[in-house]
Amino acid sequence: MVVHTLDTQFLVPQTRDELFPFFCDAFNLERITPPELRFRILTPRPIELAAGARIGYRLRLWGVPFGWRTLISLWEPPVRFVDEQISGPFGRWVHRHEFVPTGQGTIIRDHVDYALPLSPLSEFAHPLMRRQLTRIFRYRHQVLHSMFCSEPVAPVPIDFDHPAAAGNMKDP
């Protein structure tokens, strides 16, 4: 199995104590996912996010509908949490969310280890999947920016050569 990595970071002016409650509501994931994916949470409300919580979703990727189930494998509010795919479109999906305090607010860091289904046979499709994941995280950053930042929305830079760059998404 070929495992890829996606790293992003985004600064918002709120403290992590002010920001983390937004991420405690699993239904906010619908708000920050591009609408054409038709992302919907199937697990009934209320969802108590904690280590061991399981959440079911439904979405469309390139017009193909599928289900996705995740497990919250680590829950350390307001510092970090990890969701892992139990079943779904990837051969592997482990998404670490971290909230790092700074003098200017909080850096939201996402680190995703993922593998395509049927890897390594499916690796020819990785550039297409990588572009889609980059677009999804750019959309997420734009929505979070509009919700939490007062200045106008600026494009989120993507720099594949400099891992420390804000908004970076990089394959090692």
Stretch 99-110: mean pLDDT, rounded?
95
Quick one: which H or E segment has residue 24? helix 16-24
pLDDT at 152: 55
Strand boundaries in 116-150, DSSP class E: none
pLDDT at 161: 35
Q: Is 115 exposed, middle or buried (0-12, 13-18, 19+ CB in 10 A)?
A: buried
pLDDT at 157: 44
> How many angstroms separate the Cα of 101 from the Cα of each of 11, 40, 87, 122, 156?
9, 31, 33, 39, 20
The pair of structure tokens assigned to 124 is: 């020819």
Q: What is the bridge-based pairing of β-strands 105-115 and 80-87?
A: unpaired
Stretch 80-92: mean pLDDT, rounded?
97
In this predicted structure, the answer to whether residue 140 has a pLDDT above a threshold of 80 is yes
Rg (CA), the chain: 16
In this predicted structure, the answer to whether residue 1 has a pLDDT above a threshold of 60 is yes
What are the boundaries of each domain within the chain?
4-148
Domain 4-148 has CATH 3.30.530.20: yes
